[in-house]
Chain A
Amino acid sequence: MISHELKAVILSALKVNDWELTDQTVAGEVPGWDSLNHINVVLAIEKHFGVHFKGVEILSLKNVGDLQRLVDCKLAKH
């Protein structure tokens, strides 16, 4: 389940008004979420939640569900 907060941060970074994001959504399905923009999405999430992702963590993400779990995991460690 993708939180409203994460969804809002992602869509804001992509400058997209609204788009359904589920656990299975992959970046390529969302307008503007291409490989060049991915780093902007990641940085926006890091800034918003006050967390840092390592390169290998970013590379292991397969879908938005993975991203949500990574954010949750980082926040739990705080």
Chain B
Amino acid sequence: MNQVHSLAGTMWHRWCDNAAKSPDSVAIIHWKAGEAPRRWSWGELIRTAELYSAALTIGGVKRGDVCAIIAKHNPLLYPVYLGCVCAGAIPAILAYQNPRLHPEKFREGLLGMGKRSGLDWILTERGLENILQPVLGTGRSTIRGLQFPFEGNEYLSGIASDAARRAVHEMNESDPLLLQHSSGTTGLQKPVLLNHRAVLEHVKEYGKFLRVSQTDKVVSWLPLYHDMGLIAAFYLPLTLGIPTVQIDPFEWVLAPSLLLEAMSVERGTITWLPNFAFSMMADKIQEEDLDGVTLDSCRMVISCSEPVRYRDQEKFFERFAPRGLRRESLSSCYAMAETTFAVTQTPPGRDPVTLAVDADALSKGIVRPATVTSTTRFCVSSGELIPGCRIRIVDEEFSDLEDRRVGEILIKSPSMFDGYRNYPEKTAAAIRDGWYLSGDLGFRDGAEYYVIGRKKDIVIVAGNNIYPEDVEAALSELDGVIPGRVIAFGEEDADFGSERLSVVAETVLTDEAERRQLRMAILKAGMEIEVSITNVYLVPPRFLVKSSAGKPSRSATRERVLRLKQSEMMMRSGEQDDLTRIESGDLERAQGQ
């Protein structure tokens, strides 16, 4: 193990320390359905990472280079990632190519991302070589080369272990450690660069708050290109020296019982999930898939990355309590890439506080208890501040609001980002006087913080942020859509436990066959930018509601659509299920009522 003094305070030094203390302890368990898990001991993980570091350096990777890592669920991902850090490079895990996406679009996305992130290298599988090769030498690309570390021995051949030891570069705690992307459609994502100190300090503080001990074990299906997967389920356990079980996200979404099976078999104690996963696992897992599964080892199931919905927490608990899940294991967290990860968190040992509030008053920004005559909304707390983090709740003039008043959430944290890389205009819009403007709406009640909505027009589908303008840009040029007359927005889907993406497009088409074709074209255009559009509303010209600036207003158009759907639904049967079956013609008829 390399113990160079100059590495003190770096993540690599921390990992080497963990390996030196317990070389034979398990660091990472790579979980693959139907196969024996691959267990990486600390000693083996660091030794292999050193070999990768040497090979990357020989391949031309230098200190400060950004290395995009694109691979399927692969047991070599971990030493490749650690090897990048050992080489002084900056790893950035990117999503694997979605088969729906045309290779040209995938390449365009990478080039767009490279423009901001400054991607220098792509570390990937040989299977993606033909698809990725054209990104080199386009004249627009910052990418200097492809390397294939996932070929294992072929890539590492000729690397002697003494070369590996020499390959540990000098680095210090203020060097960039990692690049993660905050949100947005591929190519339009905002890159967040975090240094060693910020990440180390954050996971140490967060781990302390979670009362992590050496008996803990993280289990996660979360993708590592998402901050929740990367920081909570990868960096936190690796920093604190506890094992992490990594499940393939693609396998989990097809067979969600895998998480519970892994939790049971590995005696996992902590997992993080977006809200939709609580709903999905409660509703979709069948009893036949839970043979022998027990959740009595689980001490925290933390809801994060989406608004926490009371109904989904409750049904998850009711469904899995007979399997040993304890109520106090339910937990929630408010986090974002810009602050490394967590800002607030439910303290361990109790479930989140839930307030039953008057929904009408809440829509006016006032939090007061529900009464027998009011419409009730349940607000689930995202917990208390992590030590070092600060939150202000402010009004439109940035004046601080008192408890139980709804405003925008502003955050200051010791592990906050310095700005979006190569994106000064977005940085300027996101930071004011050292405070990060989250764009989220919420309130404080004593020590507890509640996130109840968004000021920005972001749609969150299953934990993924989608910017409506990206969708609108992709659709507005389609034949049949009146140029620029399209609006995208999120619609709450209670059964799904998340939002669904809806689109309203103005068209002059009246022939039903042509309208069907247009609807399909809209769905396909969504697929090409990797978003799934659930509801398509084709409407006549001048349907979209204009804002005072004369542009189509998303919120006002959304309200109009939902109001029309509501009145149509009430006319039909009053059953909520009918919402999804309403066609554009119905909407137009309802509009004429």
Given the known interface contacts A38-B253, A39-B280, A55-B33, the answer about A32 and B100 at a Cβ–Cβ threshold of 8 Å is no
Question: What residue of chain B has the Cβ atom nearest to residue A35's Cβ?
Answer: B253
Chain B: minimal CB distance from A32 (Å)? 6
Question: What residue of chain B has the Cβ atom nearest to residue A60's Cβ?
Answer: B34
Contact B516 A55 (CB under 8 A): no
Chain A: minimal CB distance from B538 (Å)? 14
B354 interface contact, C-beta 8 A: no
Interface residues of B in 484-534 (CB under 8 A from A): 516, 520, 523-524, 527, 532, 534
Chain B: minimal CB distance from A64 (Å)? 14
A15 interface contact, C-beta 8 A: yes
Contact B100 A28 (CB under 8 A): yes
Contact B33 A59 (CB under 8 A): yes
Chain A: minimal CB distance from B463 (Å)? 10
Chain A residues closer than 8 Å to B433, beta-carbon distance: none
Chain A: minimal CB distance from B501 (Å)? 11
Contact A39 B284 (CB under 8 A): yes
Chain B residues closer than 8 Å to A56, beta-carbon distance: 33-34, 255
Chain A residues closer than 8 Å to B462, beta-carbon distance: 36
Interface residues of A in 11-41 (CB under 8 A from B): 15, 17, 26, 28-29, 31-32, 34-40
Question: What residue of chain A has the Cβ atom nearest to residue B256's Cβ?
Answer: A39
B396 interface contact, C-beta 8 A: no
B470 interface contact, C-beta 8 A: no
Chain A residues closer than 8 Å to B250, beta-carbon distance: 35
Interface residues of B in 1-46 (CB under 8 A from A): 33-34
Q: A54-76 toward B: CB 8 Å interface, digit per residue (1/0)? A: 11101100000000000000000
B125 interface contact, C-beta 8 A: no
**Taking chain A's interface residues, is the majority helix, strand, or loop, or is none over half, making it mixed?**
helix
Contact A31 B520 (CB under 8 A): yes
Bound together, the chains give a CA A67 to CA B520 distance in angstroms of 24
Contact B34 A59 (CB under 8 A): yes
Question: What residue of chain B has the Cβ atom nearest to residue A18's Cβ?
Answer: B516
Size bracket, chain A contacts? 20 to 34
Bound together, the chains give a CA A40 to CA B98 distance in angstroms of 20
Which one of B98, B100, B254, B527 contacts A59 once the chains associate, using CB atoms below 8 Å? B254
B547 interface contact, C-beta 8 A: no
Contact B98 A17 (CB under 8 A): no
Contact B532 A55 (CB under 8 A): no
A52 interface contact, C-beta 8 A: yes
Chain B residues closer than 8 Å to A31, beta-carbon distance: 520, 523-524, 527
A43 interface contact, C-beta 8 A: yes
Interface residues of B in 230-262 (CB under 8 A from A): 250-251, 253-258
Contact B253 A39 (CB under 8 A): yes
Chain B residues closer than 8 Å to A52, beta-carbon distance: 286, 288
Bound together, the chains give a CA A32 to CA B532 distance in angstroms of 6
Contact B99 A26 (CB under 8 A): yes
Chain B residues closer than 8 Å to A42, beta-carbon distance: 254
Chain A residues closer than 8 Å to B580, beta-carbon distance: 15
CB pairs A–B below 8 angstroms (15 shown): A26-B99, A28-B99, A28-B527, A31-B524, A31-B527, A32-B532, A32-B534, A34-B532, A35-B254, A37-B532, A39-B254, A43-B284, A56-B33, A59-B33, A59-B34
Using CB atoms and an 8 Å cutoff, list the residues of chain A in contact with chain B.
15, 17, 26, 28-29, 31-32, 34-40, 42-43, 52, 54-56, 58-59
New A-B pairs, 6, CB < 8 Å, besides A36-B276, A59-B255: A31-B523, A31-B524, A32-B534, A40-B284, A55-B254, A58-B254
